[in-house]
Structure 1
Amino acid sequence: MQALQQLLRGSGVRAQRGMDGTWSLRAAAEAGEGEGVRVTETLDVAGRLQSEGGEARDRRGYDDVFALDLTTAYSGRDRVERYRGSNPADVVKDLVGVFSGDARNSGALDINIRGIQGPGRVPVSIDGGEQALTVWRGYNGVSNRNYIDPNLIAGSVARW
């Protein structure tokens, strides 16, 4: 019920449950109607649109290797396409000091950056969203796997 109320909040519509278990939508009387309903002021969300793509994005990525105050490796679209193979691990083939454990066994990435590898140690984020899958490998212990489609990768950055 709370999820439905939250979905309908601010829409001018409220949900009402019938005796037979069905739901009907009715016009809401006032904005303050209902228990636990909190009306807030307008929220302005602002950000920087990164509209550059292709060559401009790659040029900035290659420049960041020297401009940022941290160790960075960047591989643009041209290099990703050059080293793209039949395995996701080929995406990081061009990055110095970056390897993938289990590169040919699982079809996933288990990123190793200069010897640091494992669950929770090297986060892999795609378009800002971190994704990882921890897999129990029996007597071999635990492995961290990240499944990607190499055909959808336009560039890769490693920062440590």
Structure 2
Amino acid sequence: MAIMLLGAVSTGQVAAQQSTATGAPGKVAALDSVRPFNVPAQPLDTAIYALAAQAGIDLLVGDAQLQGRTGHAVQGNYSIAAALSQLLDGSGIRFEHNQAQGSKRPSVQLFQLPVHEGNVLSLSATQVNAAHPGDWVYQAPRSVNVVSREQLDRNPPRHAADMLEETTGVYSAVSQQDPGLSVNIRGIQDYGRVNMSVDGMRQNYQQSGHQQRNGTLYVDPDLLSQVVIEKGATSTMGGAGVIGGIANFRTLEASDLLTDGKEIGGR
């Protein structure tokens, strides 16, 4: 059974905590083996490497801040764990046996301990990463707007053109006698200029009517999951032959109706 030692050091205290970890017996040298050490007191960033060389261990520094700290002298016969504890005593650095798979030498990982200054607790840096499915629009190298299902439910459209009223630079002429859409992007509209599509299939066929709308799309907002507006000429799917942009109306899919772990859903 391989041995894992945890060491924590603070002012006036030397502690070593021992726990077991699964591994093949006899593959790595234990940190309790006794060896002679001769490391004088010196800056910690040099003392720790001198001790590691004499102990025959691999050292992983990580985010531990060694500069500006002093390592205690270690002279005499000590176990590797005891030598590390004495060297790091009061430095605010702890160590942990972190054996790399297949290595024949013990590996020690250094960690920074929290530092108390009065009533203030200083911690090491913590990095938090988060992603949302809709964040891709901020990474796209072009102007893109997305009208989500949440927006459509928050402001139910009375006319299909109402779906676009919160999108900058985009609108559609409204006729109470005609529920069709003729998307205008930055002052450009009609067939051959703005591509209106449903699930990627172009829908704005040539049609002449009132208000000079040559190219009209008929769609029910209740059947949509989102509307993606790409402004300007683009080389993405559906962008061939258009100069104003693309308005893609995506219909509901099974993933929009089913919650996690459910096989039946609806709205």
TM-score by length of 2: 0.35
Following the alignment from structure 2 to structure 1, what is the Cα–Cα distance between the partners of residues 206 and 144?
26
Q: Corresponding residue for 1:145?
A: 216
Matched ranges for 1:43-54 at <5 A: none
- Tell me the distance in 2 between the aligned counterparts of 1:91 and 1:103: 14
Does structure 1 residue 154 correspond to structure 2 residue 154? no
CA distance in 1, matches of 2:194, 2:173: 12
Over the aligned positions, Cα root-mean-square deviation in angstroms equals 1.9
Q: What SS is found at the alignment partner of 2:146?
A: strand
Q: Label 1:159 to 1:142 Cα distance change in 2 as closer, same or farther (>3 A).
A: closer
2:133 to 41, 57, 60: 60
CA distance in 1, matches of 2:174, 2:196: 16
Give me the whole-angstrom Cα distance separating, in 2, the residues matched to 1:117 and 1:158.
13
Gaps of 5+ in 1: 1-58
Contact 2:146 2:227 in 1 (8 A): yes
The residue type paired with residue 144 of structure 1 is G
Partner-residue secondary structure (3-state), 2:151: helix
CA contact (8 A) 1:134 1:142 kept: no
Q: Residues 182 and 213 of structure 2 are in contact (CA less than 8 Å); yes or no, is this contact kept in structure 1?
A: no
Structure showing greater Rg = 2
Q: Match for residue 132 of structure 1?
A: 204
Change in Cα spacing, 1:133 to 1:64, as seen in structure 2 (3 Å) is same
| Aligned counterparts of 2:227 and 2:152: Cα–Cα separation in 1 | 8
Structure 2 equivalent of residue 33 of structure 1:
none
Greater strand fraction, Structure 1 or Structure 2: 2
Shift of 1:103: 4.8
SS for the counterpart of 1:99 is strand
Aligned to 1:86: 158
Higher helix share: 1
C-alpha separation in 1, matches of 2:152 and 2:138: 20
Aligned equivalents of 1:92, 1:108: Cα separation in 2: 13
Q: Percent identity?
A: 29
2:149 maps to which of 42, 66, 77: 77
Contact persistence 1:103–1:109 (CA under 8 A): no
Higher relative contact order (CA 8 A, sep 6+): 1
